[in-house]
Structure 1
Amino acid sequence: MSSSTTARTARRRTLRIAVAALTAAAGLTLTACSGSGTVDAKPADSAGSGAGAVEAGDAGSAAGAQGSDAQADPGAKGGAKADTKGDSAGKQSGSAQAAGGGGAAPGVQRCHTSGLKASFATGEDAAPDPNAGGSTTTSVVLTNKGSRTCRIGGFPGVDLKAGDGGGVWSLQRSTAKHSSITLKPGDSTDFTINLVLSKGEGSWKPASAVITPPNETTSLTLDWPWDALVDQQGATHPGTFVNPIG
């Protein structure tokens, strides 16, 4: 990952920590639920309708786009919206550009799973802060590893899987707005996942995260590098949720 991507991830994380901390009080009082449902294989939502990284392998699985169409509302019950994504332009690395009006240059196709590489940003200030006082964030970097320019935007599907058949948690989406981003070969963009890390009882530890790019049904699987989460799978407004790309 380029130095500009690392610096951008650090800046964005610093801004989000302040907002995400406000969700702690609401998130930690939500009722935990140990059950989880089967993940439907359907496309994730589209834009139209740090230095080190843990890289994903190209998975042939059709697991996991959003398990529910319901959106998370971090602002409910005293919480705050994290990552409003008000300005997508200029946040992508390299020569990637935000596509004005949700469009892209003629002939530019959407990014397909086979042409993308996913990784957790782990360098410098990119790791979740266990002392954030509640909610923190992690960033997932998506890189165009193909030979053609492609367009990507919207919400990815994120399914957290426990080990030993311990179930699947399909993350809800934030209410943040989004736009399309054009990635040239080698360019990267990212999205964040808000997390409520557990420090005791009611914890749930993912073994992996299954990332499904928007409008795709095949996924990329990442080993989960962070600590356990507060189990809020049954909550209406969980503090762990996914933000849009870009």
Structure 2
Amino acid sequence: MIIRRILALVPLVLLVGCGSAAPPAPAPGTASGPPAPATTTAGSTPPAGGVARCVAADLRAGLGQASGEGQRTVSIVYRNVSDRPCEARGVPGVDLRGPEDPNGPVYSVLRQEDSGTGATLEPGGSVSATLTYLTGTDGSVGTLGSTGWIPTELVTTPPGDTSQLTVPWNGDTVLRQDGATRPGTYVGPLAAS
């Protein structure tokens, strides 16, 4: 009999001990509910209130007039042909392409350090980078470079992009220094033109 009474009380004790407590109230000034999803930007999508990076699809490239003797300079001009502003900043990639050579048909130009300059290009606006290159026939042939090589085109990649723009070369001879640690041919950062 005593055992039956004890067994009858066990379910009541379990029910009382298993009650659920109310969730704690949020602290004053904090929101309750699920967290808001994070937002990210990618590609040429502008950040909130910002301007998207210029990509090859926004630009047309061209070469200015070369100047200097021995070591020459020429501006690579990038014009915004899109219908929106874009941000042009950094150092573009530049390859000179031409006839077969002991070092191959492509001469990848060294990039200078980025100076942090650049510009926001309105539609029709332009920015440029200076390409400095050696000409002439003096120099070594083989693993360090080639003399008397004339590229047929310049291929450029805007900073932060993988698509390229191609421009006919200006006809100058380029002294290749493919294996040099400090070549006399290099491209500088974009700057307002």
Q: CA RMSD in A?
A: 2.0
One-letter amino acid of the structure 1 residue matched with residue 60 of structure 2: K
Listed as ranges, the matches of 1:21-100 within 5 Å are none
Structure 2 unmatched runs, 5+: 1-46, 140-146
Provide the secondary structure at the position in 1 that maps to 2:119.
strand
Preserved CA contact (<8 Å) 2:90 2:114: no
Q: Could you list the per-position Cα deviations for residues 10-39 of structure 1 after superposition, in whole angstroms to 9, with x for gaps in the alignment?
A: xxxxxxxxxxxxxxxxxxxxxxxxxxxxxx
Find the counterpart in structure 2 of residue 232 from structure 1: 177
Q: TM-score, normalised by structure 1?
A: 0.51
Find the counterpart in structure 1 of residue 73 from structure 2: 137
TM superposition shift of 1:228? 0.9
Preserved CA contact (<8 Å) 1:151 1:182: yes
Identity of aligned residues (%): 38
Task: Give the Cα separation in 2 of the matches to 1:163 and 1:136.
Answer: 21
From the two aligned structures, give the one with the greater helix fraction.
1
TM superposition shift of 1:218? 0.6
Mean alpha-carbon deviation: is it higher for 137-146 or for 198-207? 198-207
Q: TM-score, normalised by structure 2?
A: 0.65
Task: Give the Cα separation in 1 of the matches to 2:61 and 2:189.
Answer: 15
Listed as ranges, the matches of 1:181-192 within 5 Å are 181-192=119-130
One-letter amino acid of the structure 2 residue matched with residue 116 of structure 1: L
Find the counterpart in structure 2 of residue 159 from structure 1: 95
Question: Aligned match of 1:119 in 47, 62, 81?
Answer: 62
Task: Give the Cα separation in 1 of the matches to 2:48 and 2:60.
Answer: 23
One-letter amino acid of the structure 2 residue matched with residue 231 of structure 1: R
When the two structures are aligned, how many residues end up with a matched partner? Answer: 136
Listed as ranges, the matches of 1:191-230 within 5 Å are 191-199=129-137, 202-230=147-175
Within the alignment, does 1:148 sit opposite 2:84 as a pair? Answer: yes
Q: Could you list the per-position Cα deviations for residues 200-240 of structure 1 after superposition, in whole angstroms to 9, with x for gaps in the alignment?
A: 56222211110100111110011111311112111110001
Structure 1 unmatched runs, 5+: 1-103
